[in-house]
Structure formats: C-alpha cells, structure tokens
Amino acid sequence: MIKSIYILDENGILLYSKNFMKRKYDENILIGFFSSVSNFSREALGSVVKNVDLGDNNKLILVTHSEERLIGATIVNASDNNDLVTIILSNIMQDFIDTFSPDYNPEKIFPNEMEKIIDQNLRGKIMHSPFIRISLSWLIVGPLSYFLIFLSINATLFIYNFFNLNRFYTPDQLFTRFMPSLIALSTSNIVILFLLPNLILGFLAPNWKVALLNSFIYFVVTIGVYFFSAEPNFAYIIIGDLPLSLIFSLFFLFIGIRYSSRRFLRI
C-alpha cells in the first residue's frame, strides 16, 4: 500500500505531500533525503535510483520527470510491486503537471484537487481486505471444484476407454501403449483439477503464506471429495502422482500470486 506521496522540484522544494498513515514522518528530513538520493545517483551513476529499501517493511520508490525537473517519491510496503508503484506514481505526477503547470506554486496546489487525482489513479489498484479476498476465493473455488472433479472423472473414463486399458498388454505394449496412456491420464487429471483453482487462489490471496495454506486445503478437500464420489478409486491417480500434482499446484499458484502483485497494492 502507498503510505505517503511527495512531489518536489529538483531543488528540493516540496510542492505537495500526502501521508496515508497515522505515523507521521519528518518531511524536512525526508525531502532532504529524497533530493540527496536523486542528485547523488544522477551525478555518480548517471541515472536516478528507482527504489531504496528503508527497512521495517518499507521501501522508497522514486520517479523523475526530466522535462519539468520534478521528482516524485512514495513510501510503500516492501512487498508491493515496483513496476506497479512506478506506473501509479508516474501517472499521478503527469496529472499533477497537467493540472498545475507551469508555475507549481504550492499555494495554488489545492489538496482537494490532488486527492481527486490520487483517488483516480488508485481506483481499481487497491487490494480488498484479506477476509474479503479469502472469502471470495473460496466462493469461486468451492463450487468450481465439484465441476472440475466431474470433468476429471469423465476425462479419466474417456482416456481409459479410448486406450482400452481393460485389455491385457504384452511386455512390449506395456511401454509403447500403456505407459503413454497412463501419463496422459495423470496429466489430464492434474491439469483439470489444479490449474484454474490454484491460479484463483494465488491471485486472490493477500499473501503467499495464505495462498499456500489455501492450496493445501484445496488439495486435501479434492482428494476427500474423490473418495466420497462415485469413483473413489480415481483419487489414487492423484495420490500416485503426488510430486507432479504438487509441482503443478505450486507453479500455477506462483503465477496467480505474481499476476496479482502486478495488479494490486497491498493494504
């Protein structure tokens, strides 16, 4: 989440600031720090440092506007995606320029106007509360799991009949026909059961620990539902390929978490 926003010129004059936290920061010290980091990195490295780890779950994101000679700075959660924060801050700075240029007189930069600009740029990019996101994920994944299990059972029966797995196989056919059909059977079940739910659980999870817990719960519940379904023996297909099932689950869970981090700020 964004904890504070600052816009200043390259001379270190503060044009606008907004603090979203109860904790107050010493703006004089911060502005001096922002200006020093920007100027030092530009002179020493040839480019402005884009982010700085501040410790205590905080980091600083810096954005410069060379044409207007402005610096935008924001303090955010350490877990927030740098690219997402940079885009939001850049858009806020551009709206600031469009609204208040060319004078940038602090007395004419009205807080109400800036709050509208900030709210517009944050709309749709703030993650809901953890309770809402966890509840929503299970409201989606819960009913979906029954459909996926039904689809998995029917896919298993189709592959079973298509490859005629009831027949007796010779030693040669065991490796040329039975093993490929068994791999197709296992892979199709794992993809059907664990791809979409883990994407959803990862995308809607407030953090990776909750995502892992929800994924584990889903895995256990899925196996349990299989045992109480009309085809309980199919549960052993998933258990037999437990390592592959876990790899698929974690992979798509990771993709969901990564995509979520690029779309939402933490609260």
pLDDT tens for 31-71 read 777 777 776 666 555 566 677 778 888 888 888 887 888 88
Assess whether pLDDT exceeds 60 at residue 118. yes
- Higher pLDDT among residues 40 and 89, named by residue: 89
- Higher pLDDT among residues 192 and 223, named by residue: 192
**DSSP 8-state class, residue 107:** G
pLDDT at position 152: 79
What is the separation of C-alpha 169 from the centre of its chain, rounded to a whole number of angstroms?
A: 48
Instruction: Output b/e per residue, 87-104; b: 16+ Cβ within 10 A.
Output: ebbbbbbebbbeebeeeb
pLDDT at position 179: 62
What is the separation of C-alpha 205 from the centre of its chain, rounded to a whole number of angstroms?
A: 8
Distance CA 89, CA 176 (A): 58
pLDDT at position 35: 72
pLDDT at position 46: 55
**Burial zone of 69 (CB within 10 Å; 0-12 exposed, 13-18 middle, 19+ buried):** exposed
Q: Are 190 and 250 contacting, i.e. CB atoms less than 8 angstroms apart?
A: no
H/E element holding 20?
none
Distance CA 65, CA 90 (A): 8
State both tokens at 31: 């502005």
User: Global pTM?
Assistant: 0.75
Q: Are 266 and 208 contacting, i.e. CB atoms less than 8 angstroms apart?
A: no
pLDDT at position 147: 87
> What share of the chain in percent tops pLDDT 70?
82
Kindly state the greatest CA–CA separation across the chain. 88
What domains are there in the chain, each with its CATH number?
2-122 (3.30.450.70), 130-261 (no CATH)
Q: Is the alpha carbon torsion for 219, 223, 224, 225 positive or negative? A: positive
Say what the alpha-carbon torsion angle 192, 196, 197, 200 is, to the nearest 10 degrees.
180
